[in-house]
Amino acid sequence: MKKVYKSVESLDKRCYEKYGLSEDLLQEHAALGIYEHIQTLSDITNILVVCGGGNNGADGMALARLLDCNYKVTLCVLGEPKSPMAKIQYQRLQKLGIEVCTTLPNQDFDVIVDAIFGSGLNKELNDFYIHTIDTLNTKKAHKISCDIPSGIDIKGNPSPVAFKADTTIAMGALKLSLLSDLAKDYTGDIKIANLGLGDTKYEESTNFYCLEEKDLNLPIRTKKSSHKGDFGHILVVAGEKIGASVLAGDAGFALGAGLVSVLTHDDRLALPHHIMHTHHIPHNITSIAIGMGLGNFEKDEIKKILTLDVPKVCDADLLHSDIILDILEAENIVLTPHPKEFTSLLKICDIADIDAKTLQENRFFYAELFCRKYPNITLVLKGANTIIAQNDKMYINPHGSSILSQGGSGDVLSGFIASYLAQGYDALQSAINGSLALTLSAKTYPYNNYSLKPQDLIEGVRKL
């Protein structure tokens, strides 16, 4: 997993003060990081570099200087250089005789580099920059953003527009704003540029992490002498929408649980042959999945289940009921809300009364608020970049995509997490692994991204 920071200013400052690396030197490495990426592209001749007047623009000016001898470079500087480094880089361009224009040229380019604002944006764009960014977004080229796509604010929201990059080169380390749901349509592939020293020297401790594919820990069985009871027993509590519990149970079985039972009073329920049907709570269960497809339910019966000292994953309808308050001080509890369910949960917990739009614009903030109040709970806030949070730690799964925007995907996720819980993983490990298993299973799907069924996710996890 990669470390993530709300800001890297303190990291840069430490480079100056502890290691004697100047701002100029870091900037040259930043420009070199983009230059090296451009060199990996094929059939590149004409490059447009668009700069602002701050340090992000200075990075772009340094890049233009590096590109000058090997490519046909057009450098557009919007406004006067303002930061000390922008002024220095601009003077270097003048001494080298590199031409600078101040308005966007009306021609085609193979590559467009956005170095207008980066992380320096602290207010909404004015009409001039909105028009500039909209114009750049209409041009056909490989688009690269320096550090952060211009127009994305510190919360990760477009203000109100943003540059749509194919690749974003983050300087030194990942910023949290790059990993918001609303930034995902603008960042493209995110790469990190080395600023002149190794990660262990540049980075400090953090409470935020970005999950990588290699962080998935599959429950591979190493014990040769074993039986089904060694690998846990999931109890899936069924409700009005029976299909949700069937999906969750099947998913849990596919990811290694030795036994799966579905608790329901409906004798007409048709279950896969490997899943058991029960009217009572089995004595040997090691995890519970509850809430998916629950609908209207009898509170006394659900309360009895929630009081069991067994790890639980709670989803969907359960998160709209104040009955959830009964378990928020317990351990080994995973909650898996989508945004609308999380706003309901926040209101029930007397944390905030907001709508889904406000939540999506402030996902990290409200996830932190919730986990500060309930530090034992593991939160899985579903989205394009799923947030997995416990206490003061937050892990972002960036591997989600629109392929998962299908009914039943959340039920499969609950089953995956329940399977890890049943096999003895703690709540945080179960949430991280279950979330990664879901998103990486989706990546194995070989057909059009609108056609996936929940069963395809269950089948895909067998191939990881």
Helix axis angle for 55-67 and 23-39, nearest 10°, is 50
- Percent residues over pLDDT 70 in the chain: 100
Label residue 237 by pLDDT band (50, 70, 90). Answer: very high
Domains detected in the chain:
2-207 (3.40.50.10260), 214-461 (3.40.1190.20)
77-91, pLDDT tens digit by residue?
A: 998 999 999 999 999
Q: Is 220 helix (H, G, I), strand (E, B) or coil?
A: coil
> What's the average model confidence in pLDDT over 304-323?
94
> What's the average model confidence in pLDDT over 209-232?
92
Q: What is the pLDDT of residue 226?
A: 86
Q: How far apart are CA 344 and CA 328, in angstroms?
A: 15
pLDDT of residue 268 exceeding 80, the answer is: no
Label residue 393 by pLDDT band (50, 70, 90). Answer: very high
25-73, pLDDT tens digit by residue?
A: 999 999 999 999 999 999 999 999 999 999 999 999 999 999 998 999 9
Label residue 120 by pLDDT band (50, 70, 90). Answer: low
Q: How far apart are CA 231 and CA 83, in angstroms?
A: 60
Check: CB of residue 397 under 8 Å from CB of residue 209. no
> What's the average model confidence in pLDDT over 198-207?
93
Check: CB of residue 171 under 8 Å from CB of residue 113. no
CA distances to 121, 286, 380, 387, 400 from 434, rounded to whole Å, are 36, 16, 10, 13, 13
Q: What is the pLDDT of residue 298?
A: 77
pLDDT of residue 124 exceeding 80, the answer is: yes
CB atoms within 10 A of CB 350: 9
Helix axis angle for 409-422 and 427-443, nearest 10°, is 140
Report DSSP state, residue 344.
Answer: H
Check: CB of residue 168 under 8 Å from CB of residue 189. yes
Q: What is the pLDDT of residue 175?
A: 96
Q: What is the pLDDT of residue 266?
A: 77
CA contacts within 13 A on the Cβ side of 374: 24
Q: What is the pLDDT of residue 69?
A: 86
Per the structure block, which two tokens stand in for 347?
A: 């209101």
pLDDT of residue 240 exceeding 90, the answer is: no
* Average pLDDT over all residues of the chain: 94
Q: What is the pLDDT of residue 132?
A: 96
Q: What is the pLDDT of residue 228?
A: 87
Give the residue, 297 or 361, on which the prediction is more confident: 361
pLDDT of residue 267 exceeding 80, the answer is: no
Q: What is the pLDDT of residue 301?
A: 87
The string of DSSP letters for 244-291 reads: HHHHHHHHHHHTT-SEEEEE-S-TT----TTSEEESS--TT--EEEE-
- Residue 281: partners with Cβ closer than 8 Å, 6 or more residues away: 235, 263, 305, 308
Instruction: Give the pTM.
Output: 0.94
Label residue 288 by pLDDT band (50, 70, 90). Answer: very high
